[in-house]
Amino acid sequence: MGWMHDTLAYFQKDPIHRAFHHNLLTFGLMYAFSERFVLPLSHDEVVHLKRSLLDKMAGDRWQKLANLRALYAHMWAHPGKKLLFMGGELGVWGEWSEEEPLDWAILGDPDHAGLQRLMRDLNHLYREIPAMWRADHLPTGFSWVDANDSAQSVVSYLRFDPDSADDYLLAVGNFTPVPRHGYRVGVPRAGIHQEVLNTDATVYGGSGMGNLGAVEAVEVESHGRPASLTLTLPPLSVLYLRAPS
């Protein structure tokens, strides 16, 4: 369970220390294409005093929710099939017990309803965008943009659909509570990139910081790519931007 162990270990760390543990996010891609992988967040992680996924996250209440939203979006963009144990989509605070029902009443809290809405939207995007799943087991389906920005605890990568050379998804994660303004990211081509997901959107319980739904990439080289776009990265967030149509 290397991916699960490393990812949960990373998100449990105080963001001020994450720069020193950046490899926990990136190491899994060293072996991701040697087999066909499932990315599990299973029942075994939310029992026997291990705490719920939400309660594992670092920070205060707002940061825990933001961290969990970012974790899920990173997981959905990462190569590998997804496995999320029941209750994870609600952000329950308590451990799972076979003797008790899920705490459905928690959806009366807008923040938890927002987390469930995020999971719905992630699943819709996953079905809609073949780049997120078609080449999970192939190196051609994934490419780092920048795996090495440990100082700012930011990762950026591209997912590709081998059956459609022009279609790709850019995922950018900012795993500190510090917003990043004017953050340049290299992309394969210029044009309007739609911001199809922002885990910091108010509908998910976030602060509402973002890029107004779209960003234009210009022909300025960055990260070894012919074009680039300049982003606002909200705190403890993941953004998805889709290639120009």
Each residue's pLDDT tens digit, 8-22: 999 999 999 999 999
CB neighbours (10 Å) of residue 29? 17
Least confident interval from 29-33, 63-67, 159-163: 29-33
- How much is the pLDDT for 51? 85
| 55-70 as b/e: b if 16+ CB within 10 A | ebbbeeeebbbbbbbb
pLDDT at 196 over 60: yes
* H or E element in which residue 113 lies: helix 110-128
Whole-prediction pTM:
0.95
User: Is the Cβ–Cβ distance between 190 and 230 less than 8 Å?
Assistant: no
Residue % of the chain over a pLDDT of 90: 81
CA triplet 12, 202, 101: central angle to 5 degrees?
Answer: 60
pLDDT at 139 over 60: yes
Distance CA 68, CA 66 (A): 5
Query: Rounded mean pLDDT of 84-92?
Result: 90
Q: Shortest CA distance to 126 belongs to which of 213, 29, 240?
A: 240
Distance CA 79, CA 109 (A): 32
pLDDT tens digits along 175-192 = 999 999 999 999 999 999
pLDDT at 49 over 70: no
- How much is the pLDDT for 47? 59
- How much is the pLDDT for 48? 45
Range 2-130: architecture per CATH: Alpha-Beta Barrel (3.20)
- The CATH number assigned to the domain with range 140-242 reads 2.60.40.1180
Domain extents in the chain: 2-130, 140-242
